[in-house]
Amino acid sequence: MKTFATIIALFCLQLTFAQAYTGKGDVKFQVGANLQNNGSGVMTSLDFGMGENISVGLTSSYLLDVKKYITPAGNEEPIAKFADRFDLKARFNANLGNVVNVDENFDVYPGLNLSLKNFGGHLGARYFFTSGFGVFTEMNVPFAKYNTDTLTPAEKLHNQVTFNVGASFNI
């Protein structure tokens, strides 16, 4: 019984140290699903804490499943090639978990990103269950697209509102 009580006490103690963002030196890795019109895929991000409420990082996403079209020959082909399916972003976050003060395990982070496709913004939230594992969700919105012409369906990928959801890890 003592061993069981000790294990439970250690587990509860570990839960009290779970924080969504700790400031300078904090490193977060996230992996999840990228969801958007005409495609879905995987995304990863890596954020580095630069100050009490500031972090910078990189995000990449690749669409695995994109809509297909029928060619004049009757073949079914995806609307996008590799270059249209892939995106890489540099990002800046304002980590406001300690400002909104909902829970020390919860962080909300609006930010800006500069990608291969556009300049945009994002709003994300993450919740940590333990000191190393949590869940996150993000919404990305393009503010300025590099191509101002009428976009083809392939060019619209990553140039629209996208949603990410997945797991977050403390490194």
For the chain, domain boundaries: 2-170
- Among residues 168, 153, 118, 170, which one has the least CA distance to residue 38? 153
- Among residues 167, 59, 69, which one has the least CA distance to residue 118? 59
* pTM score: 0.79
Torsions phi, psi for 15 (to 5 deg): -65, -30
| Fold annotation for 2-170 | Porin (2.40.160)
Pairing of strands 118-128, 76-78: unpaired
Between CA 24 and CA 167 the distance in angstroms is 22
Q: What is the pLDDT along the chain (171 residues), one digit of tens a residue?
A: 555 444 444 444 444 445 566 668 889 999 999 999 988 999 999 999 998 889 999 999 999 988 887 777 878 888 888 888 999 999 999 999 888 888 889 999 999 999 999 999 999 999 999 989 999 999 999 999 988 888 888 888 989 999 999 999 998
Output the six-digit token pair for 66.
């994109």
> HEC states along 22-73?
CCCCCEEEEEEEEEECCEEEEEEEEEEECCCCEEEEEEEEEEEEECEEECCC
